[in-house]
Structure 1
Amino acid sequence: MSDSQCIVCIQSEPIELSEWQRHLSDPDSGAQAWFLGCTRRTTISKAGTVHRTRTLSYQAYTPMARRELESLAEAARERFSLSRLIIVHRLGEVPIGQASVLIACSSAHRPDAFAALPWIMDRLKRDVPIWKQEWFEDDSRQWIHPTEPDPG
C-alpha cells in the first residue's frame, strides 16, 4: 500500500527518519506521533537471565507480511481517524542502536495519534509474519515468534 495517506514498507536498508517525515505532513492534522523501535544492548529472558545482545535479525514471508501490514494499516486508520500513516519494518540484520520498525501517524488531535502507536505495534508483533532472531554476545541465539510477547 503506498498512496499519499498510507505507506507500508518492508525493506532491508536502514530506516532513515528524514526519508519519511515529508509523507506525514497534512494541513488538517494537528498531531503527529512517531515510534521507532531500535535494537537494545540488553535482553532479559522470561527466566530473568540477562543477555547482552550482539544483533537482531528479522525474516519474513514478504508477500504475506505486506498484506498483513496493509490490513493493519487500514484498520488503524479507521479506528483512530488517522489522516496519514506510515509503517516500515526492516528485514535482515539490525545492529545495536539501529531501528527495525517505524510507525508514524497524523490525526486531527493528539489522543488518536498517541493511542494508535501502541495498538499498531501490539498487533504488528502478534499478527504479522515477521520473525526475530536475537544473537547474543555469548554466541547463543533465540527466535522470537510473532505471537510471543517481547521478553524485554
Structure 2
Amino acid sequence: MSQSPSTDTSANGTSTERKGLECEVAVIRAPIDIEALNRGAVHPACGAVLTFSGTVRNHHLGRPVVRLAYEAYEGMAEAEMRRVAAGVAEKWPDVRRVQVVHRFGEMDVGASSIYITVSAPHRPEGFEALRYVIDRIKRDVPIWKKEFYRDGESEWLHPEEGCCRNHLHLEDSEASSAPPKN
C-alpha cells in the first residue's frame, strides 16, 4: 500500500490527499500486512503513530467462536471507508496520515480483520481521530459479519451489535473526545 497521495487504484486501495491529510484505504481478502502498514504510517511531521487492530475473538455473548466471515459490496465499503478516513481532516486538521485496511472472507480466531493507523503531531488528536475512524466504520460502512460457533451453528450479526451489553457506540465516543467546554 505504499502509494503516492494522488494514486488511485480503486480495486486494491485508494490514496488521496485532502487538506494535507494522506488517506490510504484498501479492501483485501488476504491476511493484512501489519508490518508494511506500520512502516507506511511514519510521517516526518508526526510524533505520534497510533494503531488499531481488530482481531477475531474466541467468544461472543458467552458462545465459543471458532471463526468468522466479513462480507460486503467491496466497492461501496471501500468508498465509505475512504469517506470516513478523509473526514478526519475536518475534525483534526493536524493529522497527516490515515491508513485503513479491512479484510473480507473467513478468518480464524486471532486474525486481524481491520487495521488502522493514524499519524499525528501529538497523541491527543491521534487517539481521538483513531477512535473516530473505527467507530464511524462500525456504524456507517455496510459490512456483514457471520460468526461460526464451536457447536456447529452460525449466525449473521447486525452491524451495530456489539460484543457485550455495554458496547461503545459513536455517540459515546464523540462525547468523550469532545474538547472541554469553557
- Provide TM-score, normalisation by structure 1: 0.90
SS at match of 2:133: helix
Amino acid in the other structure paired with 2:137: L
Residue 127 of structure 1 corresponds to: 140
What percent of counterpart residues are identical?
Answer: 36
Structure 2 runs not aligned, ≥5 long: 1-13, 165-182
Check the 8 A contact 1:29/1:109 in 2, yes or no: yes
Q: Which digits, 9 at most, give the CA deviation of each residue in 1:72-120, with x for residues without a partner?
A: 0110233123101001100001110010000110111100111112211
Residue 35 of structure 1 corresponds to: 52
RMSD: 1.3
**By how many angstroms is 1:43 displaced?**
1.2
SS at match of 1:13: coil
Number of positions where the alignment pairs a residue of Structure 1 with one of Structure 2: 146
Runs of 4+ in 1 over 2 A off after TM superposition: none
**By how many angstroms is 1:67 displaced?**
0.9
- Distance of 1:80 and 1:73 partners within structure 2: 11
- Distance of 2:98 and 2:141 partners within structure 1: 17
**By how many angstroms is 1:149 displaced?**
3.1
- Provide TM-score, normalisation by structure 2: 0.76
Larger Rg: 2
- Distance of 1:31 and 1:117 partners within structure 2: 11
**Higher RCO structure (Cα 8 Å, ≥6 apart):** 1
Residue 41 of structure 2 corresponds to: 24
Structure 1 runs not aligned, ≥5 long: 45-49
- Distance of 2:146 and 2:47 partners within structure 1: 38
Instruction: Please say if 1:9 is aligned against 2:13.
Output: no
Instruction: Please say if 1:144 is aligned against 2:157.
Output: yes
